[in-house]
Structure formats: structure tokens, C-alpha cells
């Protein structure tokens, strides 16, 4: 609560209580006052009862109002402190943890994928030269000559082995940017340095096509400034969107 607003509220509370008190006492004196102090204790008792029922109630009401305002102010201060704490942790995570996550994900691009025996025969449907790695799949999904030639189980195995690390990288960035939006530029520079943006976009496009994780897609779109969808069927992102749709028909 701003200082000027706070002072105005408390002035209103004190002034309101005093006004109610003055009006109540004035009405009582006008109705029952005789100009002299009465020696009868019962008259004073009546006055006390009257004041407790008017001025007392008004004072309690204004006090409760002030208490509510104070509690709201404290809640706002605590929330601001919590948000600042979350923002600080986001900076720490971005600086201390993210480079390690990104480096590990970048190295994983060269890992040879492994397949179940039942999937090996479907590998012939892949237009590939050399080992199949996450990089070769993420950046060249057109190696699936015809998606229909690869069984869904084999395709799902290839996809799951390829998108795991990029998904974690993407999710980590979104979580930190949620508390510190200015970190986007920092992540942008690191992804450019590692040439990893295309992997993040591939994972996002896959989830857009799958239509099964709307919250993830919304957060990625809003925090990482992604497109709503990819309509170019021959682009890398467009192919990944089609793969996501195929595996979740």
C-alpha cells in the first residue's frame, strides 16, 4: 500500500470513529442532558450502555476494517518477497544449471539410437546414411521417406529417444522465464551458441501436432515466442507437427 493511500485510510478510520462518537454523544446530550452533572449512578450506567452500543460498535468496526487492510498489506508484501525470491532462484538456475543441461543435451545429439528387435526391420524405411542419432532425426525428419512405411511403435521409439533432452531443455527454460521474463535473451544467446534452437522448435512442433499437451504448448509459445502452428508441410517443423499428429491419431 502506498504511503499516501495508507495515511488517507488511517485518517478516515480515526476521523470516522471520532465523528460517530461526537454525533452519538451530541444526540444523547440533546435528548437527556440537563445542563448539570447527575449524581445518580444509574444515569451514568445508562450513558455507559449507550456509548458502548454506539461508539463502541463503531470503534470495533473501524478497528476490524483497519486490521483487514493491514493483513492485506502484509500479504502483498509477502507475495512480493516470494516473487523476488523465485526470480532470484530463476537467475541462479539459469546461470549455474542451464549451461550443464544444454551441454549434456548437445552431446546427446550424437548418441546412436537403439531399437527393439521388432523395430529393426522397419529401419529399412528410413532414408539414412550412417548411424541414426537424435541429431539426424531432429534436424532431418524427412529421412522418414513415407511415414506410413514405419510402424507406429518403431516411429514412437525413434521419436521418444530423440526428443527427450530437447524437451527437458525447453521445459527448463520455460520454468525460469516464467519468473524472470528477461532471461529469454540469455537463453537465446546460449541456444544460438550451441545451435540448438532448431531442436527446441522440433520438439514444440511435435507437441503441437500431438494436441495432447496444450499447457506445454501454450507456455512454450508465450515464453519462447513460438508460432501457433507450422503449415509448411516440407519444413522441418511442419514434418514434426505431422509426426506428432500421426502418433496420436
The pLDDT profile of the chain, 249 residues, written as one tens digit per residue, is 455 555 666 666 667 667 766 776 666 666 655 555 455 556 556 656 766 666 666 777 777 777 777 777 777 777 778 888 999 999 999 999 999 999 999 999 999 888 776 676 666 555 556 678 899 889 988 776 544 566 777 888 888 899 999 999 999 999 999 999 999 999 999 999 999 999 999 999 999 999 888 899 999 999 999 999 998 888 999 999 988 998 887
Residue 133 lies inside a defined structural domain of this protein = yes
What is the domain range of residue 18? 3-84
The confidence score (pLDDT) of residue 117 equals 67
Q: Based on the domain organization, do 65 and 127 belong to the same domain?
A: no
**Cα atoms in the 13 Å half-sphere on the side-chain side of 4:** 0
Residue 54 lies inside a defined structural domain of this protein = yes
- 63 contacts 16 by C-beta, under 8 angstroms: no
Instruction: Report yes or no on whether pTM surpasses 0.85.
Output: no
Residue 122 lies inside a defined structural domain of this protein = yes
The confidence score (pLDDT) of residue 37 equals 47
Nearest to 21, CA basis, from 48, 56, 67 = 56
Q: Based on the domain organization, do 135 and 212 belong to the same domain?
A: yes
The cell 507437427 sits on which residue? 241
DSSP codes joined into one string, 19-76? HHHHHHHHHHHHHH--SS----HHHHHHHHHHHHHHHHHHHHHHHHHHHHHHHHHHHH
Cell of 100: 550443464
Residue 222 lies inside a defined structural domain of this protein = yes
Q: Based on the domain organization, do 130 and 239 belong to the same domain?
A: yes
Q: Based on the domain organization, do 209 and 128 belong to the same domain?
A: yes
Q: Based on the domain organization, do 145 and 238 belong to the same domain?
A: yes
Residue 195 lies inside a defined structural domain of this protein = yes
> What domain count does the chain have?
2
Strands (E), 97-151: none
Amino acid at each position: 500500500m502506498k504511503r499516501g493511500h495508507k495515511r488517507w485510510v488511517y485518517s478516515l478510520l480515526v476521523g470516522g470513529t471520532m465523528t460517530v462518537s461526537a454525533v452519538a454523544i451530541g444526540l444523547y446530550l440533546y435528548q437527556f442532558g440537563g445542563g448539570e452533572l447527575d449524581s445518580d449512578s444509574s444515569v451514568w450506567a445508562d450513558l455507559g450502555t449507550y456509548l458502548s452500543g454506539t461508539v463502541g460498535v463503531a470503534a470495533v468496526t473501524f478497528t476490524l476494517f483497519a486490521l483487514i487492510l493491514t493483513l492485506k498489506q502484509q500479504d502483498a508484501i509477502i507475495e512480493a518477497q516470494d516473487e523476488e525470491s523465485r526470480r532470484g532462484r530463476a537467475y541462479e538456475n539459469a546461470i549455474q544449471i542451464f549451461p550443464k543441461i544444454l551441454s549434456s543435451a548437445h552431446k546427446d545429439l550424437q548418441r546412436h539410437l537403439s531399437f527393439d528387435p521388432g523395430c529393426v526391420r522397419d529401419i529399412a524405411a528410413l532414408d539414412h546414411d550412417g548411424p541414426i542419432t537424435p541429431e539426424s532425426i531432429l534436424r532431418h525428419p524427412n529421412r522418414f521417406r513415407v511415414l506410413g512405411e514405419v510402424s507406429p511403435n518403431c516411429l514412437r521409439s525413434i521419436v521418444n529417444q530423440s526428443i527427450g533432452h530437447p524437451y527437458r531443455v525447453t521445459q527448463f527454460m520455460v520454468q525460469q522465464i516464467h519468473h524472470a521474463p528477461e532471461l529469454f535473451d540469455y537463453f537465446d544467446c546460449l541456444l544460438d551458441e550451441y545451435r540448438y534452437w532448431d531442436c527446441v522448435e522440433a520438439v514444440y512442433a511435435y507437441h503441437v501436432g500431438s494436441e495432447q499437451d496444450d499447457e506445454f504448448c501454450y507456455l512454450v509459445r508465450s515464453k519462447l515466442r513460438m508460432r501457433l502452428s507450422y503449415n509448411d508441410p516440407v519444413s522441418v517443423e511442419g514434418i514434426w507437427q505431422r509426426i506428432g499428429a500421426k502418433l496420436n491419431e
